[in-house]
Amino acid sequence: MLSTRAVRAWSAVHTWTSLICTAFMLLLCLTGLPLIFHHEIGHLLGTEIEAPDMPAASPRAGLDDVMALATSRYPGKQGMFVSQEEDDDRVWYVTLCEKPDSNEGLKQVAVDARTGQALGEPPLDSGFMYVMFSLHVDLFAGLPGMLFLGFMGVLLLVAIVSGTVLYAPFMRKLRFGDVRRDRSPRVKWLDLHNLLGIVTLVWFTVVGATGVINAWSDLLVKYWQFTEVNQMLAPYKDKPPLTELGSLQDAVAAAKALDPSMKVAFVAFPGTSFSSPHHYTVFLRGGDHVSAKLLKPVLVDATTSQVTNTATLPWYLKALLVSQPLHFGDYGGRPMQILWAVLDVLTIVVLGSGLYLWVARRRKAAAASVVGTGPVGELP
């Protein structure tokens, strides 16, 4: 059992870590709610690409033709990525840029993987979902914004732990789930805050922890590049820059030949952050819900279309790839989306009620001080 001094110490930790991160956690919960249903909202807004239905055995367009179509729409721009969604291989998304190592002037063209015809040009830097995603990921501040939100996530985890420690002494005289409706509004909200906090405890911990991992994604990828990738590229260190790219189709075919059961997640072009100046890097994925998240990189010489190396991702990148869909509830289809949304709303209530309780407590303490009784101490 905690002593009175320990309770007050844990109470101070819980109060101040919660207060510091609450505003940002509310922002993340509010922006995260539409992101849970990003595909569905995209269809409603008309920004999600719809591929026409065709027989499953329909022939596939060559990737070189797909690239030629995309680049013809934006002369002067270069290939950056070619990708497909996990659950829809009917569309290739071609991302183009001014320079391979820069994100300036990004454009995307969606191309039918069967007919080779353009289906549309999804916007990459505008629209409702772009604003929601940017606020949720980095506050429009790039890497500093990501790291700042990661620090807020760490404070959240501390607040969760301290709140859990305080829950047991608080509930000594109450039954689980009791809300004292006959007491003041502040007491009722305190009971509701504690009840919903315990109900959402596991979910909020999972989402908070995966959010912290995601905040480190750029640094984790850079660390992987400077360690393992650099070792893989050692034989190409002194080779001159490429003057012409070889066949993208042949490069993908060579990578898939290593394991025909795997599918292409995306291809990074030479010079981009996920590749080298001399390679196409083909990222392959498995066929089930879990292995589809764990990508396998294959380095293919961009001139000869020969596989030069392949590797298993290190544990920290595997953790990152698994945490990203878990953070947004992308594992269990519609039922998991609905569950994530309900828990998200309950968490908004927990955060809002915590802020209300702090303000109400401060007002009560100030009023008590005015009449000479001194501030009142209680559990948060």
User: Which residue, of 285, 302, 319, is where some domain finishes?
Assistant: 302
Q: Are residues 160 and 209 in the same domain?
A: yes
Comparing CA positions, the residue from 95, 92, 91 lying closest to residue 105 is 95
Task: Give the torsion sign (CA, 48, 289, 62, 272).
Answer: positive
Cα gap 12→18, rounded to integer Å: 10
- Same domain, yes or no: 211 and 147: yes
Check: CB of residue 157 under 8 Å from CB of residue 212.
yes
In a domain, 357, yes or no: yes
Q: How far apart are CA 207 and CA 327, in angstroms?
A: 5
Same domain, 65 and 170: no
* 365 in any annotated domain: yes
The answer to whether position 378 is within a domain reads no
27 and 149 housed in the same domain: yes
Question: Within this chain, do residues 251 and 295 fall inside the same structural domain, yes or no?
Answer: yes
Q: Which of 302, 324, 348 is the last residue of a domain?
A: 302
Specify whether 112 is located in the same domain as 90: yes
Residues 69 and 176 in one domain: no
In a domain, residue 190? The reply is: yes
Same domain, 200 and 337: yes
Note down pLDDT in tens along the chain; length 380 residues: 678 888 889 889 988 999 899 999 999 999 999 999 998 898 888 778 888 888 888 899 999 999 999 999 999 899 999 999 988 899 999 999 988 777 778 999 999 999 999 999 998 888 899 999 999 999 999 999 999 999 999 999 999 999 888 877 766 666 666 667 777 777 788 777 877 888 888 899 999 999 999 999 999 988 988 888 888 888 888 888 888 899 999 999 999 999 999 999 999 999 888 888 999 999 999 877 777 888 999 999 999 999 999 988 899 999 998 898 889 887 777 889 999 999 999 999 999 888 888 887 777 777 766 555 443 334 44
Instruction: Examine the domain organization and report whether 177 and 295 are in the same domain.
Output: no
Q: How many domains does the chain have?
A: 2
Residue 285 lies in a domain: yes
Q: Which domain holds residue 354?
A: 4-39+133-215+332-370
- 367 residue type, one letter: A
Question: 302, 319, 349: which is the final residue of a domain?
Answer: 302
